Structure 1
Amino acid sequence: MDNSCLPAQDNQQPTVLVIEDDDSIRELIVTLLLAEDYAVLEAENGELGLTLAIATPLDLIVCDIMLPGIDGYGILNHLQEDPKTETIPFLFLTALGTKDNIRQGMNLGADDYLTKPFTAQELLDAIQARLRKHRLWRTHFRQKQQANSTKINYTVTHDPITQLPNQLALRDDLNRLLKQWQQDNLPQNKQDNNGEWGVPILYLSVDRFERINELYGYHFGNTVLKNIVRYLGGTISETAYLACLNYTDFVLISPPVQNAQSEEHLSAIVEPILETFAQPITVESRKILINWHVGIVTMPEAEYNFDRYLNQAKEAMELARNQGKRTYYILQPDDKQQDKASQRLLDTDLYEALHRDQLVLYYQPKINTHTGRILGAEALIRWQHPELGLISPAQFIPLAEKNGLISGIGQWVFEAACRQLQTLRNQGFLDICLAVNLSGRQFYQPNLATNLKAILDCYQVPASHIELEVTESILISDVKLAIANLQSLKEQGFPIAIDDFGTGYSSLSYLQNFPFDILKIDRCFVRNIMRNVTNSTIVKHVIMMAKQLDLTTVAEGVETAAEFEFLKAQNCNEIQGYLFSRPVDSETFSQMLRDDPNFFDQLDLHTQ
């Protein structure tokens, strides 16, 4: 018999497990199957058979019912309870061919039943039929899974209203476009070296769009957005790339050009857009005037750092908004040299802060969405400046990254968190976990995993209770090295979290490349999630995808009961945000653990 048509694992030999306590019958079956080119495993009792079935990828099981120890019914019942083994075709052999015996086996999930004595051909026909049927089922399942995966990926990477790529698709799309532009347009033109090549990036934001929603409702507002995109599509170059960042914010990326810093060239990109919207557009017989604020920067082609330049484009857009009538602002290199004096002052003070105990950790509790109780906290650094008071990390961390102090600050944070965890464990809080952020420079330090483990040993706290958070932008700078470093950290026992997911403009496919345990959903997706169709769609599918990858999901920045209820309904695992607690000092956090509040009870009081 030719087994090439049978459903082995993609044209490999079909693997069959034979569980039979009668040595002579088992040997006959095994010999028969080997002669037909099957791979065969055998077991003389139920315990061994069950162990092999769980530990080995199988295509089919042939099993006697009457066995010493666990009988055939018990084996099948156990396998049916495990998703990894419940679909293995199962063929019973028995001398008990009564209707009740057959019905009992079929009710448990058996695929077929052969009554002893049977011929060799009857056994082979039964096996071949079960394998062929399973092959058809598996092919159908894979096709359906692929279709669902494609659909989910499109939904997650495209804005549901405008159908434009969203920020989760940006990085993959931009990498592909840059390669395409280089291949199609640049080789023959780069012989002329007059002027630097750069990629214009425009951050476009619709002004006061919430007013349209207030006057006419969200459904009409969505229709307006679709029309805005249609008008934009008819205005911009066919080779440009347009994506939706967040409801009313868009990014436009033009192909590389020479002398890209030229205001004349950049103005020539944005002014046709403004001219198109100079007159009201007609939407469902209503005249709607659309005003834009646009920030424009140029990313040097030789300096690919998209996150940095997109943030600069957004800053330029805010400058355009603040200047009133002027609707766009071109950020030139000279504009980036601001506040140098105050930065130098903080630069000097920061060195003193690190060595004079001016740094302090605050803790924002993380709440279990099933129990309402605290299960841990994120450790957040603050600077208690002797003259300026409490300084947020947003002000001094960028300085530390520039002057090289970030590695020392990162180690201080990790040690302080371990010390606090030791204190909490001594107080009896053995299940509490603390999350610590790793900076890019700290993450790529040689021997990071070994150094962190040494600190853990010093404070006698388990690695499993210190979660290490890294951002997308850190990982994508050197993917191979990042994966190696993450593996080293996991080998030491640290849970790994990807922080601010979705804000680094990386692709969803990156998730499967990195050994994460936890996915943190950034607050920009959580804000107004009940009214923002884009955010709610993204969050739904991100949580769904995380569960498929067996990741714990944590939502940051939860501030309203509506946001919480939405996230809980989507089975998000953990929540943190001002709705439950602001970051608090160590003593306050310890007292919160002693009080052991159920935040759901407080939420009920708050919302009544």
Structure 2
Amino acid sequence: MNTSLKVFIIEDEIIAAESLKLDLESLGYQVIGKENSHDKVLPKIKENQPDLILMDIKIKGDIDGIDLAKKINQIMCVPIIYLTAYADEKTLNRAMETSPYGYIVKPYKTEDLVTNIRIAWQKYNQINHITHQLTSQQERLNFISKYDELTQLPNQLSLVENFNGILELFYQQLNSQADLDTDNKSQFIPLFYLNFGRFYLIRDELGQDLANMLFKALVKRLKANLNEDYILTRLDGDDFALIIPPIKTKQIAIDLATNLLEKITPPFIYKQQEIYIDFKIGISLYPIHGENIDQLLYKAKEAAKDLEQNQYKIYSPAFHSFTAKQVSLEAKLHNALENRELEIYYQPLVEMRTNKIFGAEALLRWNNPEDKYISPEIFIPLAEEIGIIETINNWILNTACEEFNYLHKNFKSDLRLSINLSKRQFDQDYLEQKILKILADNYFNPSLLQIEISESLLVNNHQMASRKLKKLHSIGLKIAIDDFGTGYSSLGYLQNLYFDILKLDRIFINKIESNPKNATITKSLIEMAHELNLKIIAEGVETEPELSFLHKNNCDYYQGYLFSRALPFQQFKELLEINI
């Protein structure tokens, strides 16, 4: 028995309250206050900070004990046990909405009082323990998922978050500089791509351990030549991204690139041997070269692609290798839908426990007769740029609904269809109404449609995203957060959004059996998702060891080449025939 437990009594009858106080004190509990009116309770509870509250439902004032419990739950976390003469179903149902820790019907027995208090206190401590564990795991996960182990620099997964921080500063400066002329305003956010692509030669020559030591010395030299508010990030391999605060002219970016090439390229000395580290710098500028970090990084890499060592270049469309081809593709893409060149492929979504298909992700393909295969990474952004993406998206949903209606009728009535939403789609007004109309036109059950939204779309405007997801959820759709872990990487950040599923990105799954860091991240993500009643779909599962790890750690679903690549409708139908 916890004799130090502090109890607060809320009881309508003064005599009953005093009798209860005497019983509690005889049992070893400390009664720190008692009250019979709701308007006096909240200040006293805030002042006394009880460990537990015994609440009568009938109290003096305009509200009853149940409504008072709701108010208390809003301002503090304290276990509440109802002690009341009411036992009717309506009252019980109302009381249950406040998640009480116990319910005792008067007249009570002393042993019932003790049992309820002990169970409530144990349950409260268990919940606190779980909450603390989740918080600790999240903090640990945030660190190991966002920092490079060798250099302790932020890694590629942190780029979105760091860029958004700089972006917020950029618009704050624009607002504060509204009355200034253009020359004195912040104009750009530069992204520098530092390519040390020849470092592998040093690694081959000196060995992994010595190369790692040299690499850390390189990072130290880089940081010594950067301001404290510059954000240096290690990318995959031996490359870095550098984001600096907003600048007024391109010349500032040029001067920094020139200075880095001058200060970083002098040789390192090891055992009286000079070791030269050559590199090149590609630069892109927000907002003229891209709206998000992915576009900017791609453009910066393009700028560096054909450079000689120890040179820099700011991205220019004139140097972009796809420019001429893009002009031709635009004309072809305008006619692709009419010429029936677009086709939906379906990649199976598989239940881990049974290894049975429970749904499929719809993926768009363009079968152009001249160019053969054209990557969606090329033609989908192009469709957005030339303004035909909404027409294509409507066609995808209509066609997929029609094909899945056939599958529902002939194979599996609850087969789930998963559709990706682009940023432009997600930003549409009345999105849920447009989707609902297409579903109604096709007599398609909304509960069988899963909408996949990239995590990065939710970061820039959290409140807008929350409202959008709530509306989509309200019409019965399943919501999946795609590429989880490549953007903001925080379950805490997403906890107030309306969604059902996390899709764990391939970056965590790849060779997980030999990557302890990724194994820890993945295991923690699965555990925390389940604590929040979310399901996990692992993307890009390609090997048996990867699948075995996911199965062992209770992942719910998976997709990837190990089970099946994305298939045309006819081949997907044939696969269903042997799998259901």
TM range (shorter): 0.7 to 0.9
One-letter amino acid of the structure 1 residue matched with residue 53 of structure 2: P
In the alignment, structure 1 residue 298 sits paired with structure 2 residue 285: yes
- Counterpart pick for 2:566 among 583, 589, 605: 583
Contact 1:6 1:14 in 2 (8 A): no
The Cα shift of 1:497 comes to: 1.2
- TM-superposed CA distance for 1:271, in Å, is 1.1
The one-letter amino acid paired with 2:535 is T
Counterparts of 1:169-568 in structure 2, within 5 Å, are 169-177=158-166, 193=183, 197-207=187-197, 226-246=216-236, 248-261=238-251, 264-272=254-262, 274-275=264-265, 278-279=267-268, 291-299=278-286, 305-317=292-304, 319=305, 322-323=306-307, 325-335=308-318, 339-504=322-487, 508-532=491-515, 535-568=518-551
Partner of 1:14: 53
Q: Is the 8 A contact 1:7 1:131 kept in 2?
A: no
1:337–1:428 CA distance, 2 compared to 1 (3 A) = closer
TM-score normalised to the size of structure 1?
A: 0.71
Q: Distance between the aligned counterparts of 1:518 and 1:135, measured in 2?
A: 28
Q: Following TM superposition, by how much is the alpha carbon of 1:409 offset from its aligned partner in structure 2, in angstroms?
A: 0.5
Query: Partner letter of residue 194 of structure 2?
Result: L
SS in 1 for 2:495: helix
For 1:471, give the aligned amino acid: S
**2:502–2:536 contact (8 Å) kept in structure 1:** yes
Deviations 1:126-166 (A, max 9, x none): 98888788877776776565444433333333334433223
Is 2:154 the partner of 1:165? yes
The answer on whether the counterparts of 2:302 and 2:320 sit within 8 Å (CA) in structure 1 is: no
Alignment-mate amino acid for residue 57 of structure 1: S
Could you tell me which residue of structure 2 aligns to residue 151 of structure 1? 140
The 1:290–1:446 alpha-carbon spacing in structure 2 relative to 1, beyond 3 Å, is same
Counterpart Cα distance in 2 of 1:8 and 1:219 = 59
Cα RMSD after superposing both structures? 4.4
After TM superposition, give the deviation of residue 355 of structure 1 in Å. 2.3
Q: Contact 1:247–1:534 at 8 Å: present in 2 too?
A: no
TM-superposed deviation, 1:539: 3.3
Cα deviation digits, residues 188-232 of structure 1 (max 9, x gap)? 997792686433322234436667778888777766655543443
Letter in 2 for 1:503: T
Deviation at 1:242, TM superposition (A): 1.7
The answer as to whether partners of 2:144 and 2:517 remain within 8 angstroms in 1 is no
- Larger mean Cα displacement after TM superposition, 334-343 or 463-472: 334-343
Give the aligned residue type for 1:237.
N
- Kindly indicate whether residue 33 of structure 2 is the aligned counterpart of residue 3 of structure 1: yes
AA partner of residue 261 (structure 2): E
Q: Is the 8 A contact 2:416 2:449 kept in 1?
A: yes
Write the distance in 1 (CA, Å) between the matches of 2:468 and 2:181: 41
Deviations 1:511-549 (A, max 9, x none): 224212122222333334444555445434433433333
Counterpart CA distance in 1 for 2:410 and 2:200 is: 50
Change (3 A) 1:290 1:505: farther
- Of the structure 1 ranges 391-400 and 250-259, higher mean CA displacement relative to structure 2 is found in 250-259
Residue type at the aligned position of 2:230: A
How far 1:487 moved relative to its partner? 1.2
Q: SS of 2:226's equivalent?
A: coil
Write the distance in 2 (CA, Å) between the matches of 1:532 and 1:226.
Answer: 21
Would you say how many aligned residue pairs link Structure 1 and Structure 2?
Answer: 518
Matched, 1:57 2:96: no
1:403 Cα deviation from its structure 2 partner: 0.9
| Further displaced range: 185-194 or 467-476 | 185-194
Please state how far the C-alpha of 1:412 moved relative to its aligned partner: 0.7
CA distance in 1: counterparts of 2:406 and 2:507, whole angstroms: 34
* Cα distance change of structure 1 residues 306 and 567 upon mapping to structure 2, 3 Å threshold: same
**Cα-to-partner distance string for 1:340-388 (whole Å, 9 max, x where unaligned):** 4432322222222222322111111122222222222111111122333
Q: Is the 8 A contact 2:282 2:315 kept in 1?
A: no
Equivalent in the alignment of 2:73:
none
SS of the residue corresponding to residue 572 of structure 1 reads coil
Calculate the TM-score normalised by the size of structure 2: 0.75
C-alpha contact (below 8 Å) 2:84/2:106 kept by paired residues: no
- Say if 1:170 and 1:507, in contact at 8 Å, map to a contact too: no
Higher deviation after alignment, 335-344 or 217-226: 217-226
The letter for the 2-side match of 1:570 is N
Structure 2 stretches lacking a partner, 5+ long: 1-30, 35-43, 58-79
Q: Counterpart amino acid of 1:447?
A: Y
In structure 2, distance between residues paired with 1:525 and 1:300: 31
Per mean C-alpha deviation after superposition, the further-off stretch among 535-544 and 579-588 is 535-544
Percent identical residues: 33
Which deviates more from structure 2 when the two are superposed, residues 329-338 or residues 509-518? 329-338
User: Counterpart amino acid of 1:229?
Assistant: V
Determine if contact 2:174/2:185 at 8 Å carries over to the other structure: no
1:574 maps to what in 2? Answer: 557
Checking the alignment, whether the CA contact within 8 Å between 1:360 and 1:384 is kept in structure 2 is yes
The residue matched to 1:362 in structure 2 has which SS? strand
In structure 2, the residue matched to 1:606 is none
Q: Which amino acid aligns with 1:151?
A: R
